[in-house]
């Protein structure tokens, strides 16, 4: 090992690391001083501001201009540009001045075309109808087979969000749906599914697409059937021509999520579904009758709906009884028959039935002094089975806790 012979050698050995540290410190100071700002803030400061501010505040011109400058800077980190673009979209009308920049980025996205276009499309979706003037450009992306499949799929939602009040989105979706064989040959079924899902955004305005949606609801693939039936439901009362298809889905579809969507859709269609629901309520299959109760949850109160609920309360299935009772109590907390069914099933052997009763009573207990007295009686009656008493006691403890923690209680 080499020895240090002289004091000058010692100074030399220590001078090297010390000089290096001085240079490193100086470089750090310079870097800190030269950190790029957008407006008056660094990227880290912008990130903190966005997290801590509401969109009304961020809609001030000084902030909109700063966020726009981040989006525009191709040297800024991709994630920062994306966050700024999506924030502008969430600001909405007050950030409309940034939309021309987003339009330009769709045309000329730079070095990362797919990633950039994806977050631009997301930003425009968040703008909604504020960006309605770009509906034709988004349509052209969807219909242009030279664009990556992922971009075209994501553009479907964007077109629906920005163009739901216009006349471009619906014809575009129908055109995509009509190209079934072509899309299947290209292995791009997701594009048609995306079009059907986007029709959901249009709501009742998608009624002219009902025939296409009914056809889609009969296709082999579950995602397509689910998307079609969900969009039919969003059309609402104008979707009555789809009722037979929805009934078939409840009766025969082997996918639970599709049957659930069909039940929801029947309920959203409303009074025109009553006759179909009455028919389904007579089915021997318990699951079919349960879907009737699910449909009712989407419907406004009427004499016919009330009668459907009353029939459900008398069903031979305890699950259906408790589900019908829960819905009846939601509509009328004084409904005595519903109250009694739920109280009687607090100690049910089947866990799902017991939970139905407990959850429904818990939701409405505070609103009904009579119901509170009935639960208290169960809790104190030693002749009642332990499981039922235990459930009643839990309800009362939770009621006491909720009342103690409520804002009204704290103000007193």
Task: List, for residues 158-198, the tens digit of each pLDDT value.
Answer: 999 999 999 999 999 999 998 866 656 555 789 999 999 99
Tell me the pLDDT tens digit for each residue of 94-146. 999 999 999 999 999 998 999 999 999 999 999 999 999 999 999 999 999 99
Give the other-Cβ count within 10 Å of 309's Cβ.
24
pLDDT score recorded for residue 31: 44
Identify whether the C-beta of residue 317 lies closer than 8 Å to the C-beta of residue 286.
Answer: yes
Q: How far apart are CA 221 and CA 41, in angstroms?
A: 50
- Give me the phi and psi of 137, to 5 degrees please: -65, -40
Tell me the pLDDT tens digit for each residue of 340-375. 999 999 999 999 999 999 999 999 999 999 999 999
Better-scored residue on pLDDT, 182 or 21: 182
Better-scored residue on pLDDT, 4 or 170: 170
pLDDT score recorded for residue 185: 59
**Per-domain boundaries in the chain:** 35-130, 331-406
SS3 content of the chain, % helix, strand, coil (to 5): 80, 0, 20
What is the mean predicted confidence (pLDDT) over 307-336? 98
pLDDT score recorded for residue 411: 55
Tell me: pLDDT of 23 over 50.
no
Tell me: pLDDT of 247 over 80.
yes
The 10 Å CB-count burial string (b at 16+, else e) for 246-278 is bbebbbebeeeebbbbbbbbbbbbbeebbebbe
pLDDT grade, residue 407 (50/70/90)? low
Q: Which of 127, 10, 122 is closest to 64 using CA atoms?
A: 127
pLDDT score recorded for residue 182: 63
pLDDT grade, residue 33 (50/70/90)? very low
Which pTM was predicted? 0.84
Q: Which of 286, 251, 254, 255 is closest to 266 using CA atoms?
A: 251
């Amino acid at each position: 090992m080499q020895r240090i012979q002289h004091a000058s050698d010692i100074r030399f050995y220590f001078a090297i690391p010390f000089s290096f540290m001085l240079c490193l410190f100086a470089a750090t100071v310079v870097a800190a001083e030269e950190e790029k700002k957008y407006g008056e803030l660094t990227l880290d400061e912008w990130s903190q501001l966005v997290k801590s501010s509401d969109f009304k505040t961020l809609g001030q011109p000084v902030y909109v201009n700063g966020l726009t400058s981040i989006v525009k800077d191709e040297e800024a980190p991709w994630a920062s540009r994306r966050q700024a673009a999506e924030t502008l979209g969430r600001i909405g009308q007050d950030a409309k001045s940034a939309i021309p920049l987003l339009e330009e980025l769709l045309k000329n996205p730079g070095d990362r075309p797919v990633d950039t276009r994806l977050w631009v499309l997301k930003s425009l979706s968040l703008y909604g109808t504020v960006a309605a003037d770009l509906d034709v450009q988004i349509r052209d992306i969807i219909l242009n087979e030279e664009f990556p499949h992922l971009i075209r799929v994501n553009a479907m939602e964007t077109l629906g969000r920005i163009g739901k009040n216009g006349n471009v989105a619906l014809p575009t979706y129908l055109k995509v749906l009509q190209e079934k064989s072509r899309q299947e040959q290209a292995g791009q079924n997701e594009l048609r599914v995306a079009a059907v899902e986007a029709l959901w955004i249009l709501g009742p305005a998608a009624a002219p697409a009902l025939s296409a949606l009914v056809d889609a609801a009969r296709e082999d693939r579950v995602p397509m059937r689910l998307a079609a039936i969900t969009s039919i439901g969003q059309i609402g009362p104008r979707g009555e021509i789809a009722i037979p298809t929805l009934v078939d889905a409840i009766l025969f579809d082997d996918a639970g999520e599709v049957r659930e969507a069909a039940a929801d859709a029947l309920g959203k269609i409303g009074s025109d579904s009553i006759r179909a629901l009455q028919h389904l309520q007579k089915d021997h299959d318990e699951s079919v009758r349960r879907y009737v109760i699910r449909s009712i949850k989407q419907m406004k109160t009427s004499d016919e709906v009330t009668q459907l609920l009353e029939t459900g309360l008398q069903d031979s299935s305890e699950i259906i009884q408790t589900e019908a009772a829960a819905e009846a109590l939601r509509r009328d907390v004084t409904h005595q028959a519903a109250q009694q069914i739920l109280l009687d099933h607090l100690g049910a052997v089947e866990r799902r039935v017991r939970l139905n009763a407990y959850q429904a009573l818990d939701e409405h207990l505070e609103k009904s002094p009579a119901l509170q007295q009935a639960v208290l009686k169960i809790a104190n009656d030693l002749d009642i089975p332990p499981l039922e008493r235990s459930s009643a006691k839990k309800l009362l403890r939770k009621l006491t806790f909720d009342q103690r923690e409520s804002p009204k209680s704290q103000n007193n």
